[in-house]
Every structure is written in structure tokens, then in C-alpha cells.
A and B are shown apart, each in its own frame.
Chain A
Amino acid sequence: MNFWSVSTRRLLMLLAASALLLGIPAAATAFASSATTGTGWIRLAHLSPNTPAVDVYLYSFDNSKAMIVLHHVAYGTVSPYESVQAGDYSVAMRAAGASATSQPVLSTSVTIAAGQAYTVAGMGPESGLRLQVLDDKLTTAPGQAEVRVIQASLKQQEVKVTLGSTVLAGSLKFGTVSDYQPVSPGTHTVTVSAGGTDANSSVTLPAGTVHTLVVLDGASGLEIVNLEDASGSGKPPLGGVQTGFGGTAPHGPGSPVPWLVAIGAGSLLALTGGLRLRRNRQLTVRI
């Protein structure tokens, strides 16, 4: 009698084990998460014509030790982008060479979202210097380039900026920024006109790229700087990429169902046989 009950228990354990096996592959094929890495980008700029060179500090919100220090940043300087964890930061400007612990001339907070880019620029005249946080664009219309203008010339209070025959800004005031706008890709002539004087510059804007044109006071007249904010594939390929021919693919891994059916059928058969044997034995004992 005992022998059979032990055997039945084993059978149940076997069934439980096969159920467990069912669960393992299900868990193993679970998808890799599509979470991003949680980083954004920031760059720092000095665009105030009559403000002397500064030291620019970037602090993580809860850390008094600077993450990044840019020394002796002069008018017209724009740093490359730095990749940083999304979160709250502050940017401080001190006179060039001032102690890192001295009171900053100017500071601002900036919240960096994952996958977004920002320019923090010192703008305006020295007497009204401010730190402005600009949202930088990371997308383009299909097959187009995107461009905006920062007016950082004190010589001309207001300028008109055209790209070929496209007007980028009709009348852009000193210390302000135009919105991005899509333009056809290619090499264009940028014209900045103000007070009867024109400045020209040739800029190349490939498809899939984002640019900021900065109007600066030059040694004589105006200067136009073409910043590349972001770049991607001008013609993004369609869909996925067929990078495999199957030579190393597991041979017909297929569905686990046939195996599970076999396990189920086997269990049923064994259970039936086991129970029938047990009943027979009981009958035999009674006789």
C-alpha cells in the first residue's frame, strides 16, 4: 500500500516539475527593456559682447563640487555638448580666475530631461547679463535641415537674417533667439542685414542636421558662426536590417507545445496505469 502512495506522490512531483519547466522558457524570452539610458546633454556659451571672459561652472543640484569647469570662456565661445544624467543642475559664472568658492556673478538652475539637449548661454549686455536656458532641437522634418538664429551682436540692436530666399528672422533683437525652422538641405548663403550693412556667409546644412547660427560682433562688422547642434542620417533607412541568414539558428526550436502535450499525455497514461494497478492490488488483497 505504502509503495503506491509514494509512487503517486512522485508522479505528482514529476507533474509539478514539468509545470515548472514550462515557466522557465517563458521567463527567458521576456523582452529586453526599451528603457533609455536616462541621459541628456548640456553645452555652455558666452554670448555677451561687452562682458569679459568668465569661468563657467556646472553643478549637480545636490553637490557643491563642480562637475564641469570651463576656464576663461570668452565672448563667442560655445562648448561641445556634455552627456549628463537627467536631473536638476545649476550653472554659475564667475569672473575669469576668481576663486571657485567666491560668490558667482550669475547663476541659474536647469532641469535636464532624458534624451533632451540644452544650451545655457550668458546673454545680453554686461549691465544686464543673464543666463538663458535654450531648448535645443533633436529632430528634423523628413529630408530637411533645421536652423535657428541667436542674435548676439551689440553693434546692431536688430537684424534681419535670410538663408537664400528664406527669411529666418525678420527683425531679431539683440539677446534673443528665433525658433528653429525647417529648410531644404544644401549649401546656402546667409545674409545678416542691419542699418544698411550686410554680412554674408556660406553655410552647409545637410539633411538630418540641426544648426544654430550665431550673429556676433566681429573685429570689424558682424560675424556669423554656424553651430552644428545635432546630426543624424539624412535619409533614414526604412524598417529593420536583414543582418542574418540563419546558418547558426537553433534547428527548429519551434513551439514547446508538442513536448508539453507529450508530457501531459505521459502523465495521464502513467496516472491511469498507476491507479489501475493500485485498484487491482486492493482487489487482490480483498480476495
Chain B
Amino acid sequence: MPTRRPAAALALAAGLVVIVGGVTGLLLTRHSIPAMRPAAVGVGAVPAPTGPIVGAFPAPTGPIVAVSQSAAPKPAAAPVSLTIPLIGVQTNLMTLGLGRDGTLQVPPPNMVSVAGWYTGSPRPGAIGSSIIVGHIDGDAGNVKGVFFRLRQLSAGDKIYVKRADGTLVEFRVTSIQQYPKDHFPTEAVYGPVPDPELRLITCGGAFDPATGHYVLNLVVYATEVG
């Protein structure tokens, strides 16, 4: 039946077109923002800030001088700005408290380029885990937040916090973790630690249009460099 041949050829051709379309669609939608690490001197990198670095800790190796805690350490001044040279972050810090529902306040939608320090957490450089949060993005088309590139950090990268008395505290990233927001590890992030540490928090994972929120939190853990 030769009359069926064009129909069969058409089916074959149409099938192949649909396959190509499907594969293309799959590839295009699967592609997410690449979590590539920027070059050490990349576009958007900012220089490390200068200023007296106050380390509560002596260097970890070699002979060190024992410091008695009985000579009560001067209380750390409040943090005023944050610099992460590798990913071009340079921001003043606003102060944040807890909302009425007990969740951590965040900078408002018109201030996504500013990070904030949780005043209920230890001050950077004092013993304990100091908490700084920033947005990954704004609500308008493609507005990037102050921590948009936070995911590009990795262990060893430097973070600087300047305090109200002009002193600078230097931190080194130890790890980066992602958690579903409904399984947020409160103890690991906010619980007591015995040395000066820093936690940077932003969002990650997929955005859920139904709730208007991202499903994951990204947490950068860092400790003070002596």
C-alpha cells in the first residue's frame, strides 16, 4: 500500500522533531545558575579592607603566649561592615532582631543589597557564633541580593568584619552547608561554641512561587583567624 508511506515518513519525522524539542526543553530548564568559583582576581572582586586586626586567638602552631582569661578581655565593639573580597561583597551592616513569630528578621525588600547582624548573637570576634544574614535576591526582575554569590565561597576563603571602634576581625570559611528550611539545624547554627565564629545565612535551592520563598537555607561557617 504505497499510499501509507508518506504518513509513516511524516510520523517518523514528527517523532524526531518532538524528541529534539523535548531534549532541548529539558536541557534549557535544567540549567540553573552555575555554582562556579570565581577566579582569585575576578570581576567584581573587592580588595581586603585594611585596619588593625584584632585576634582573640594566638596563631595555631608554634610557640604561643598563654593569655589568661582572668585579665577580662575587652568587650568586642558592635559590627558595622562586612567585606568578602572573593565574591565582591562590601556592605554596611544593619541590626536585626526577632520578629513577633520568633523568626529572624531580614533586611526589607528595598534593602536587599545590605546584610544584617542579629543583635541577639555574639559580636564578631567575641566568643560564640555571630550571625549575619543577607538576601540572595530581590522581588523585582533579576535584582541580585548582597549574598547572591555566597554559594561560590569554599573552605579557606576570607571574610572581614569591621567594628564600631575601627578594629577589623578576619574570619576563614570552614564549610558551607544547605538545609531545607523546615529542617533548619538551630543548635548547629545558633548554639554555643567556645571560640569566635561567624555564620553567614542566605537562601538557596528552588524558589517556590506558592509560598514566595526559597526552600533551602545556605549557611557559611567561618572561624576567626588568629
Contact = CB atoms under 8 A, between A and B. Distances in A.
Interface of A: 14, 17-18, 21, 24-25, 28, 31-32, 34, 36-37, 39, 41, 43-44, 56, 67-73, 76-83, 117, 136, 138-140, 208-210, 225, 227-250, 252-254, 256, 258-263, 265-274, 276-277, 280, 283-284
Contact of B207 (A37, A73, A117, A244): A244
Contacts of B120: 233-235, 237
B13 interface: yes
Contacts of B184: 239-241
Contacts of B44: none
Range of interface residues on chain B?
A: 35 or more
Contacts of A254: 29
Interface of B: 1-2, 4-5, 7-23, 25-27, 29-33, 56-58, 60-70, 98, 101-104, 106, 109, 112, 118, 120-122, 126-129, 131, 133-145, 147-148, 155, 174-182, 184-187, 189-195, 201-203, 206-207, 209, 212-214, 217, 221, 223
A273 B98 contact: no
Contact of A18 (B19, B31, B174): B19
A128 to B, nearest CB: 23
A44 B66 CA distance: 9
29 contacts: A24-B30, A77-B70, A80-B56, A81-B195, A209-B128, A210-B192, A230-B127, A231-B122, A233-B129, A237-B103, A240-B180, A240-B182, A241-B181, A241-B202, A242-B203, A245-B137, A246-B137, A247-B143, A248-B144, A248-B148, A256-B30, A266-B18, A266-B20, A269-B11, A273-B10, A276-B11, A277-B9, A280-B5, A280-B8
Given A21-B23, A245-B137, A208 B192 contact: yes
A243 B106 contact: yes
Contact of A276 (B8, B61, B139): B8
A17 B206 CA distance: 26
A180 B29 CA distance: 55
B191 A244 contact: no
A37 B120 CA distance: 25
A248 B11 contact: no
B166 to A, nearest CB: 23
A236 B191 CA distance: 8
Contacts of A79: 66-67
Given A79-B66, A272-B11, A139 B178 contact: no
- Mostly, the A contact residues are mixed
B223 to A, nearest CB: 6
Nearest to A25: B30
B133 A243 contact: yes
Max chain A CB contacts within 10 Å: which of B16, B27, B176, B209? B16
Contacts of A83: 60, 195, 223
A228 B178 contact: no
Contacts of B4: 276, 280
A36 to B, nearest CB: 8
A241 B103 contact: yes
Contacts of A136: 194
Given A79-B67, A243-B133, A248-B33, A232 B19 contact: no
A209 B211 CA distance: 35
B5 to A, nearest CB: 5
Given A82-B60, A241-B104, A273-B13, A263 B69 contact: no
**When A and B form their complex, which 6 residue pairs have the shortest distance between CB atoms, in order from nearest?**
A270-B15, A240-B181, A266-B18, A231-B128, A273-B11, A273-B12
B11 A247 contact: no
Contact of B139 (A17, A235, A246): A246
A115 B223 CA distance: 14
Contacts of A271: 15
Nearest to A40: B194
Nearest to A44: B66
A43 B194 CA distance: 10
Nearest to B26: A259
B16 A270 contact: yes
Contacts of A232: 121-122, 128-129, 190-193
A37 B174 contact: yes
